[in-house]
Amino acid sequence: MTTTQNTGHAQEFTGRNALVTGGASGIGLAVAARLAAGGAAVAIADYNEEAAHKAAADLAAGGVRATALRMDVTDPESVRAGTEAAAEALGGLHLAVNNAGISGEAAPTGEYPVEVWRRVLATNLDGVFYSLRYELPLILAAGGGAVVNMASILGTNGFAGAPAYVAAKHGVVGLTKTAALEYAGQGVRINAAGPGFIDTPLLSGMDRAAHDALVTLHPQGRLGRAEEVAELTAFLLSHRASFINGSYHLIDGGYSAR
């Protein structure tokens, strides 16, 4: 399992319990590893139950308290049951990262398949709402905490051929701001991260020409790394970000500055 350096803020999450959706690969896996490196107990929720258990086992082998569960974020009952099971296994819930998402197909809006639109919105937007819906009462019951919703640079930019993904990620940003206003006075901070294109399994099927074209959109001349997004996420969840709430934080190598 990939881990990250945490020399400056070791054990800042000691005594905190975290749930990461879509935590078995890519950004979610890097976030789970980073929180664990900071002392958190971690529940990894993923549609791929086998991969979730492997990720949790790898963390546990390093001395971390970790558990795994299958969660289909498009199904509110699955989210409810999984979130409650995670809190029960860990002994409460203080932190959550709502990361599960899919990319969908590439097609112009006037040709976009309706079933794909529904699937992308169900995963990338409804899934974040369902997660918040069942996480927030548990975080309040634990005395407060913090949430990061994984949006995208496409939560503020358009992208031809990706109407469903762009609409969903814009929705995540709006949902984040609204929930933050509602819970700010109750000891819960809620923010969103906006990664650029990150070198994860989500891009694994892309041909070289398409990959290189994406790289050119980032002024730093490369795609991002999952560990870099994990560092931003950990910061937003930590006490170091105690006055950051309802914000949307880009991490895109300059993509949005063009």
Name the residues annotated as catalytic. Answer: 165
Cβ atoms of 245 and 192 within 8 Å: the answer is no
Helix (H, G, I), strand (E, B) or coil at 185: helix
The token pair at 26 is 């890519």
213's CB contacts (< 8 A; 6+ apart) are none
The token pair at 151 is 């949006």
| Dihedral angle sign, alpha carbons of residues 87, 89, 95, 100 | negative
Amino acid at site 99 = N
CA atoms within 13 A on the CB side of 168: 28
Cα-based distances in Å from 184 to 22, 126, 178, 190: 26, 22, 10, 8
Return phi, psi of residue 250, to 5°. -75, 140
Gap between the Cα atoms of 173 and 49, Å rounded: 28
Torsion of CA 13, 14, 16, 20, to 10 degrees: 50
Cβ atoms of 94 and 139 within 8 Å: the answer is yes
